[in-house]
Amino acid sequence: MAFTNTGFERREWEIEIRKSRSSPTERGLDSGLKMNGEKKSDYKMKICVIGSGDFGRALAGRLASMKYNVIIASRNPDKNRTLIPDGVEVAGLSCAVTADLVIVAVPKDFYHTLPVDLLKGKVVVDVSNRASIKAKSSESQAEQLARLLPESFVVKSFNVLSAYSLESGGLQGSKQVFVAGDDAFARDLVSGVVLGAGFTPVDLGGLSNARTIEDIPVAVFPQWRVPFYIHLSIFVFLYIIGFVKSQICWPIIWSTDGAFLWDLWNHIPMHNINKTLSVHALNTLALCYLPGVLAAWLQIYRGTKYSRFPAWLDNWLKMRKQLGLLVLFAASIHACLSVAYMSQMYQDVVFGDPVEASVYMMEGETESLNRTTITLFGTEKMKWRGECFLMTGVFGFALVVLLAISSLPSVTATLSWKEFAFVQSGLGWTALIFLCAHDMFYEWFYGWPYMNGPSCGIPSFIPVCALCNKLTILMKLPTVLPPLSTHLARIRAGYVRADKQKVIKQEECV
């Protein structure tokens, strides 16, 4: 099928001259050649946008600002004329006949109202998105449009942008715009317009890939669901352990007259959550580095890196970034709460043991002869154990913040692979060690005395629930010490154990 509009000739000319730094005149490409009565150097691609809604107006305005000749086609040209951006004309649907490119900016339910005859031989861009998260059909909306326009060249694009991003020129959000269509030349034309609009085109190939493109705008954190559920499950599990022990077991055991100690329930909103978050953040950080350790041991066991990891381990490795950012979220709340109630009554590990003093009581404005005992905190400076507890926590938290910042795409782009690996691996393990030490200083003072205490058979919350990070560190140590470290480095450099070489050769033959 041959294209009928002259815009494709201009596109060929644009592609050719972009391959050279020479001007069109120097290369003899614009000497007297004209398109529709204009020199190629003066010609502006004519784009027809069908639909005067918010998105159609924003897209038309963006293209017009980039010096394209843009016309909004509408059945009611006078409707919403005051909202039309500067530099954009408004006309009837017949203007699509002379357009080099037609953009359909109407909902899918109105596809049947499109002028099929006027769109024959045209490149038609579908920018629609479905309203539901799950697709109701295996066929994309762009494919449905292609069936209605059998003599047009349908391309899916621009749907990942919002009206705001178009009006702001993509200053916020991703600048990538995906392109899919069955005709390579049509995709190339649309990609040029995407680039001309100030965005980055990503060619995904055939129109069947429009199904993937249409999933992007309606997807709600698809890569975050599993990490978030894991993160939430760990928190709920740890919180239930702490709640049962502190708010159910201890009020019963410590009761002297048989009355339930409801005063201990005062700590549910803040103190319980803070204790849970401390262990929760530490264990989740360990879960970021544990899959890498397991992968290293699996490579040592197999004697090669040329074999796939199990699906569960592969998925675990891919969600480490999300888990790491969730660690920062939990650790930030824990740090804020710890500062919020940094009082002697809560933080005895920092301020030390209280001192009891006997004082006279006041009766009105006069001092009576009656005496009472009061508890005094902070009579001495902080002990070394308290200072180590605070400093390891602060330094570990600072490293976690640094890890999160370095994972941002804008920061990652400025780092070499070796620098990125040093931050994410070297500083990450350092953070895990410091936070583990932060936990151990707390355990030494507060956790161990309750290990054998009356707790209804429930183990001490802090020492037992923070075992994951200690296990991760213990499993990591042999892989960084000779001879295993040397052997692992050889495997990752391409070494294959002799018995595995035969297996790999047999698989290649098959």
**pLDDT tens column, 358-405:** 777 777 777 777 778 777 766 667 777 778 888 999 999 999 999 999
pLDDT reported for residue 507: 52
The residue among 106 and 341 whose pLDDT is bigger is 106
List Cα–Cα distances, 212 to 71, 178, 205, 301, in angstroms. 30, 10, 11, 38
The residue among 8 and 254 whose pLDDT is bigger is 254
In 235-394, where do the E strands start and end? 355-363, 366-376
Contact criterion met (CB below 8 Å) for 323 and 284: yes
The residue among 15 and 192 whose pLDDT is bigger is 192
pLDDT at 4 over 80: no
Span 71-91, mean pLDDT? 80
Burial class (CB in 10 A: 0-12, 13-18, 19+), 197: buried
**pLDDT interval class at 352 (50, 70, 90):** low
pLDDT at 20 over 90: no
| Percent share of the chain, pLDDT over 70 | 79
**pLDDT interval class at 250 (50, 70, 90):** confident
Contact criterion met (CB below 8 Å) for 306 and 504: yes
With H, G, I as helix, E, B as strand and everything else as coil, classify residue 326.
helix
Three-state helix/strand/coil letters over 455-503? CCCCCCHHHHHCHHHHHHHHHHHHHHCCCHHHHHHHHHCCCCCHHHHHH
Buried b (16+ CB within 10 A) or exposed e, 85-99: beebebeebebbbeb
pLDDT at 21 over 50: no
Q: Which of 254-263, 402-411, 473-482 has the lowest mean pLDDT?
A: 254-263
pLDDT reported for residue 10: 44
Q: Which of 197-211, 330-344, 496-510 has the lowest mean pLDDT?
A: 496-510
**Each residue of 90-107: pLDDT tens digit?**
888 888 898 999 999 999
How many CA atoms does the CB half-sphere of 502 hold within 13 Å? 2
| Percent share of the chain, pLDDT over 90 | 40
The alpha carbon torsion through 288, 292, 297, 300 (nearest 10 deg) reads: 180
> What whole-number distance in Å separates Cα of residue 492 and Cα of residue 496?
9
At the topology level, CATH places domain 44-218 in Rossmann fold (3.40.50)
**pLDDT interval class at 5 (50, 70, 90):** very low
Domain chopping of the chain, boundaries: 44-218, 225-341+383-509, 353-382
pLDDT at 157 over 90: yes
Which of 85-94, 134-143, 327-336 holds the top average pLDDT?
A: 327-336
pLDDT reported for residue 332: 94
**pLDDT interval class at 30 (50, 70, 90):** very low
pLDDT reported for residue 2: 41
List Cα–Cα distances, 117 to 77, 97, 122, 150, in angstroms. 20, 9, 10, 10
Per DSSP, 152 falls in state S
In 254-365, where do the E strands start and end? 355-363
Average pLDDT, the chain: 81
- What element of type H or E holds 180? strand 176-181
Angle between helix 141-148 and 210-218 (nearest 10): 130
The residue among 261 and 312 whose pLDDT is bigger is 312
> What whole-number distance in Å separates Cα of residue 244 and Cα of residue 247?
6
The residue among 237 and 455 whose pLDDT is bigger is 237
